[in-house]
């Protein structure tokens, strides 16, 4: 599967175009500040945009929604919305055909209640749920607990070779894999929810101690 990562602006936000190489049918994720750039790229390279998914309804991910709908005629899909073309609701486990591939929705609450990750072929687009070496910001209560469950029960069950494409360029590399994150991401190395929340609480000190930007 073809994946193009766009530095869209904002706070090192990433947007994506991913495509089935057999049919050139594509999906866009979080066009945010750069809908025109992504649509131009698709047109210049012969990709046909079938879907636009938005990982969660924060301004820096969703602010390009109206513009990309105007440019493509496709309605951006957030969690629990319904795709007007297929009639499929965007809920956990929902599937959307993409040429010879299939898009699968994983509901991953934590950073926000409507956070979702999008799996296509050997890739997962993780929005603000999982970053390279970090995880999404939450409170230290119910949000953190929900995120821990989402990370372990939805993302870490994917094959180790799954390519991880995050919603922000916050890590030492712009992309990763599930296996690499499992082995190196300090939040994923925490053995239980309590120590996971503890690392969130002490993240500033941990970063300083370990020289993390």
Find the part of the chain contacting Fe ion (CB under 5 A) among 3-11, 22-30, 54-62, 76-84: 54-62
User: Tokens for 121?
Assistant: 């072929």
Three-state SS string across 139-161, please? CCCHHHHHHHHHHHHHHCCCCCC
Distance from C-alpha of 20 to C-alpha of 9, rounded to nearest angstrom: 26
Find the part of the chain contacting Fe ion (CB under 5 A) among 10-18, 52-60, 64-72, 75-83: 52-60
- Computed from CA positions of residues 148, 154, 160, 163, in that sequence, does the dihedral angle turn out positive or negative? negative
Distance from C-alpha of 200 to C-alpha of 4, rounded to nearest angstrom: 31
Distance from C-alpha of 112 to C-alpha of 102, rounded to nearest angstrom: 25
Residue 40 or 139 with smaller CB distance to Fe ion: 139
Find the part of the chain contacting Fe ion (CB under 5 A) among 19-27, 53-61, 69-77, 82-90: 53-61
Give the nearest distance from C-beta 121 to Fe ion in angstroms.
Answer: 25
Residue 116 or 197 with smaller CB distance to Fe ion: 116
Nearest by Cα to 99 from 79, 77, 121? 121
CA 20 to chain centre: 18
Residue 47 or 79 with smaller CB distance to Fe ion: 79
Give yes or no for residue 58 binding Fe ion (CB under 5 A).
yes
Residue 114 or 128 with smaller CB distance to Fe ion: 128
Give the nearest distance from C-beta 3 to Fe ion in angstroms.
Answer: 21
Residue nearest to Fe ion (CB): 58
Give the HSE-up count for residue 62: Cα atoms under 13 Å, Cβ half-sphere. Answer: 14
Give yes or no for residue 128 binding Fe ion (CB under 5 A).
yes
Question: Cβ neighbours of residue 15 under 8 Å, at least 6 residues apart?
Answer: 5, 6, 8, 28, 29, 30, 31, 32, 33, 34, 38, 64
Find the part of the chain contacting Fe ion (CB under 5 A) among 1-9, 55-63, 64-72, 94-102: 55-63
Size of the site for Fe ion (CB under 5 A): 2
Residue 101 or 151 with smaller CB distance to Fe ion: 151
Give the nearest distance from C-beta 50 to Fe ion in angstroms.
Answer: 25
Which parts of this chain interact with Fe ion (CB under 5 A)? 58, 128
């Amino acid at each position: 599967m073809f994946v193009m990562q766009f530095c869209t602006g904002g706070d090192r936000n990433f947007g994506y175009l991913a495509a089935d190489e057999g049919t050139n049918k594509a999906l866009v994720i979080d066009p945010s500040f750069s809908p025109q750039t992504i649509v131009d790229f698709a047109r210049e390279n012969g990709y046909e945009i079938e879907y636009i998914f938005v990982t969660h309804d924060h301004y820096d991910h969703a602010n390009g929604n109206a513009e990309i709908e105007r440019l493509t005629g496709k309605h951006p899909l957030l969690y629990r919305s319904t795709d007007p073309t297929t009639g499929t609701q965007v809920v956990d486990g929902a599937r959307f055909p993409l040429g010879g591939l299939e898009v699968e929705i994983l509901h991953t609450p934590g950073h926000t209640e409507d956070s979702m990750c999008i799996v296509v072929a050997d890739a997962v687009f993780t929005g603000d749920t999982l970053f390279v070496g970090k995880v999404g910001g939450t409170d230290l209560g119910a949000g953190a607990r929900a995120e821990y469950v989402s990370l372990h029960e939805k993302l870490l069950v994917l094959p180790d070779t799954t390519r991880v494409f995050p919603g922000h360029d916050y890590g030492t590399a712009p992309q990763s894999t599930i296996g690499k994150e499992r082995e190196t991401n300090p939040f994923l190395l925490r053995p239980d929810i309590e120590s996971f929340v503890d690392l969130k609480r002490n993240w500033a000190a941990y970063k300083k101690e370990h020289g993390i930007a």
